[in-house]
Amino acid sequence: MKIPIKKKKTKRDNAVTYDFETPFRPNRTLKIIFSVIVVLLPVFLSFVYYRFAVNQNKFRSFPLDDPWIHLTFAKNIFEHLSFSYYKNEMVTAGSTSPLFTLLEAVAFFFTNNEMLIGYAFGVVFFVISAYAFYRLAIFDFSKDYIFALLTTGIFIIDKWLVFISLSGMETTMFILFLVAGAYFYRKRMALQLGICLGLLLWTRPDGIAFIAALVIDYILIRRVFSDQLDVPLFTAKELRKLALSFVAIAAVYFGMNFMLSGSLLPNTYNAKLTYYSPEFRSRWDFLQFEVWEYFRAGSYYVLMLGFLFSVGKMIYDLYNRTYNPNTVYILFILLFVLMYFIKLPYAHRFGRYMMPLIPFFILTATIGFRDFARITNRYTNNPLFSKSIFYILIGVTYFMGIKNYDENRELYAVQCKYIYERQVKAAQWLQKYTTDKDIVATHDVGAIGYYSGRKIVDVAGLVTPELIGKINDMNYVNEMQKYMQEKGVTYLAFLREWYRVSNQNPLFTTVNSLPPETMDIYKYEPGKTEILSKEGNGIIEMMQKLASQRAGQQLIHLGNRLFAVEPRSSYGYYLVAYGYQLLKDENGYEQSLRKAIELFPDYKDAHLYYGEFLRQRSRFAEAKEHFEKALALEPANKMAATGLQEVNDSLGVAPVPPAQ
C-alpha cells in the first residue's frame, strides 16, 4: 500500500516542505549504495569475530558441538551416498536440518575443509537474510529507505546473529526462509511463498509455528478485516499454487524421514523433546530467564519498549477492527515461544532456539518506534520533533548494539576454545589411541563423530533412535549399558555432568581446562565399568555445590542419601570426607577416605590427602605408602613428591637419586 506524499506550503515563505508521512525516496545510485552496505556489512562484522577468535586461540573452531553433526552426515553422503552417521552403516534421520546437511554434502565436492564449509554457509545465509530483511523493511516502512536501512543495520550488528553466523549451524538459513516467507506473504507472492514454506520445514521442524502464524493472520484478514480494501488477498488460483507447492516439498521431507527412521520428523526432534521434557524442566523458568530476560538484555532493552508498544497498538487495532501489519510477526513470536513452552522449555546455549525470533522482534520494535513518533506528530504537528524521537530511539539502540557486538567477540572466542578443548581434543585422542574396530559411546556426537573416525553409539538418541524412548527412565543407565554391550562399545566419552564413571581413572580428561564441564574418556569394560545412575549423579552435582559453599553438615547428610542409591561411589565418600574435615571430625574424615580407597584403590586424590592427614599426625610409615601410591598414579604431582620427601626425612630414609 503506497502512502501518498502530502505537501504543504508555509505561510511565511511559501516554500514546499514535507510532513511526517513523507518517505525518503533515494535515487538509483543511493539505492545501489544502500544495497551494497547491506550485503558487505555482515561479511565484515563476521570476519571481525572470526579473526579475533583465531588470533586469540590460534586455531579454528565452532562455539557449539552440533555443527559437526551436520558435517559428519554431509561427509558420509559425499563419500558413501548414504544419509549415515558412520560410513554407510548408520542410516538415520539424525539431522534436524536435512536441507542444510545436503547443501554441505554438495560443498564437499569443492573442498574437504569442514571449517570453511561451516563458516561459509553461515555467513552467506546471514548476508542473504540481511538483504531479505532490508527488502521486507522497505515494504513495511512504506518505501522509506532511511527507516528501512536503519532497521536493517540493527539486524546486521546484532551480537547473536553475527555470533551464530560463524557457528556452522543452520540458524541463519532458517532465518532467511522466515524473513523471505514474511516478504512473499506481505507481497502476496503465492508460488514463492509455498516453496519457501516447504523449504522452511526442511530447515527446521519448528518452522511450523511460522506457518501457523501466516494461516491465523490470513484467516483474520478474511473474516475480520475483509471490508478493508487496502489489504490484498490471494486469489483462489494463487492459493492452490501456494498449497500445492508447499505440500509437494513437505511430502518429500516427511517421506525421507519416514524412510530413514520410521518417523515423520528427525530423530533429533524426538530426542530433544524427550531429554528436555517439561516434566524435568521448569516451564516458568524458561519463560522468565530464557525468553523474557534474553530479550531484555543490552540493546534489546530499548527495542522491548518499541515491541511492547506495537503489541499494545495491535490489540487496540484489533478491538477497532483495523488490520495491523505487525499481527503476523507478533503471532509468530507468541506461537514460537508457546510451542517451546509446551514441548521443549529450553533455549539451548546462547539462546540459540530463540534466535529466529530476533529479526521479527527488531522489525516490530522499530515499527513501534515509528508509530509512536507518528502519534506524537498528531499532537505536536511538528514533523522534525516527531522524527527526532524515532532517530533518538534508534540511535540509543545502535549505541548499545555496537557495544554488545564488541563485547560478544570475547564470548565467541572463549566458546570456540571451550568446544575445541573438550570435544575436538577428545576426538583427536580417540583417533590417535583407538583403532577402526573400536566403538565409542557418547552423548556429544558432533566433533567426536567427525574427527575420531570411529563408529558412535549416541546415548542421547540423536543418531541412535533406539534409545530415545528410554532416556528419561530412572534406570536408564542400566538400559544404556545393556545396549552398549550389545553394540560392542569399547570406549566412553562422557561429560561428567551427564554421566559419571565411578571407581575408574579416565584415559583422557579436560578437568584442568575451562570450567564448568569436564570431558572424560574411559576404556569400557562390561561388568566392571561403573556408571552412576541419573539420580546418583544428580546428588553428586548438589554435593559439589555444597562443597564449594563449605557446608559440611549438609554434605554429610546428602552423602548418606547418595550411598542409599550408589553405595560404591568412591567420589561420594571423598566429598563426605571433606564435610567431616570442615566439621573438624578427624575420625569421620579418616574413615571416609579409607572407604574411598577401599572402593577405588587407584584413587590418586584420596591417597594424596590421606597421606597428608597421616603425615600431620606423625604416622609416617602409613603416610609413605599413600604418597608413593599417589606418585605412582601421577609422577608429576608436586604435593605428593613433597609429602613423600618429608615423610622419608622423618623416617631417616635416604632420598632415591633420579634415574640417569
Q: What is the pLDDT of residue 378?
A: 82
State mean pLDDT over 182-198.
97
Residue 123 has pLDDT above 60, yes or no: yes
DSSP 8-state secondary structure symbol assigned to residue 97: -
% of the chain at pLDDT higher than 70: 94
Is the same domain home to 61 and 185?
A: yes
Q: Which three cell numbers stand for residue 342?
A: 509446551
The CATH code of the domain that includes 538 is 1.25.40.10
CB atoms within 10 A of CB 460: 19
Asked if the structure places residue 660 within a domain, the reply is no
Is the same domain home to 595 and 627?
A: yes
* pTM (whole model) above 0.85: yes
Query: What range does the domain containing 465 cover?
Result: 435-531
Using one digit for the tens of pLDDT, what is the confidence trace for 443-478?
Answer: 999 999 999 999 999 998 888 888 887 887 878 999
Asked if the structure places residue 423 within a domain, the reply is no
Confidence of residue 659 (pLDDT cuts 50, 70, 90): very low
Is the same domain home to 204 and 338?
A: yes
Confidence of residue 655 (pLDDT cuts 50, 70, 90): low
Burial of 379 (0-12, 13-18, 19+ CB in 10 A): exposed
CB atoms within 10 A of CB 554: 16
Residue 5 has pLDDT above 60, yes or no: no
Is the same domain home to 394 and 512?
A: no
Residue 10 has pLDDT above 50, yes or no: no
Is the same domain home to 213 and 313?
A: yes
Identify which of 283, 277, 334, 330 has the alpha carbon closest to the alpha carbon of residue 306.
330
Is the same domain home to 27 and 78?
A: yes
The domain boundary, picked from 507, 531, 555, lies at 531
Asked if the structure places residue 5 within a domain, the reply is no
Confidence of residue 276 (pLDDT cuts 50, 70, 90): low
Asked if the structure places residue 220 within a domain, the reply is yes
Asked if the structure places residue 540 within a domain, the reply is yes
Is the same domain home to 138 and 178?
A: yes
Is the same domain home to 574 and 612?
A: yes
State mean pLDDT over 43-57.
98
Confidence of residue 6 (pLDDT cuts 50, 70, 90): very low
Is the same domain home to 499 and 389?
A: no
Using one digit for the tens of pLDDT, what is the confidence trace for 246-271?
Answer: 999 999 999 999 998 888 888 877 77
% of the chain at pLDDT higher than 90: 79
The domain boundary, picked from 531, 556, 572, lies at 531
Is the same domain home to 141 and 206?
A: yes
Asked if the structure places residue 607 within a domain, the reply is yes
Is 222:233 a contact under the CB 8 Å cutoff?
Answer: yes
Asked if the structure places residue 72 within a domain, the reply is yes
State mean pLDDT over 567-586.
96
Confidence of residue 229 (pLDDT cuts 50, 70, 90): low
Is the same domain home to 495 and 477?
A: yes
Q: What is the pLDDT of residue 8?
A: 41
Residue 11 has pLDDT above 60, yes or no: no
Q: Which residues contact 65 (CB under 8 A, 6 or more apart)?
A: 419, 423, 444, 445, 446, 447
Asked if the structure places residue 446 within a domain, the reply is yes
Q: In this structure, are strands 530-531 and 491-495 parallel, antiparallel, or unpaired?
A: unpaired
Q: Which residues contact 246 (CB under 8 A, 6 or more apart)?
A: 194, 195, 197, 198
Is the same domain home to 445 and 570?
A: no
Using one digit for the tens of pLDDT, what is the confidence trace for 360-403?
Answer: 999 999 999 999 988 888 888 777 788 888 899 999 999 999 99
The domain boundary, picked from 508, 531, 554, lies at 531
Determine phi and psi for 614, rounding to 5 degrees: -70, -40
CA dihedral 218, 223, 225, 228 (to 10 degrees): 100
State mean pLDDT over 306-321.
95
Residue-averaged pLDDT of the chain? 91
Identify which of 371, 365, 341 has the alpha carbon closest to the alpha carbon of residue 354.
341
Residue 296 has pLDDT above 80, yes or no: yes
Q: What is the pLDDT of residue 13?
A: 38
Domain count, the chain: 3
Using one digit for the tens of pLDDT, what is the confidence trace for 602-650?
Answer: 999 999 999 999 999 999 999 999 999 999 999 999 999 999 999 998 8
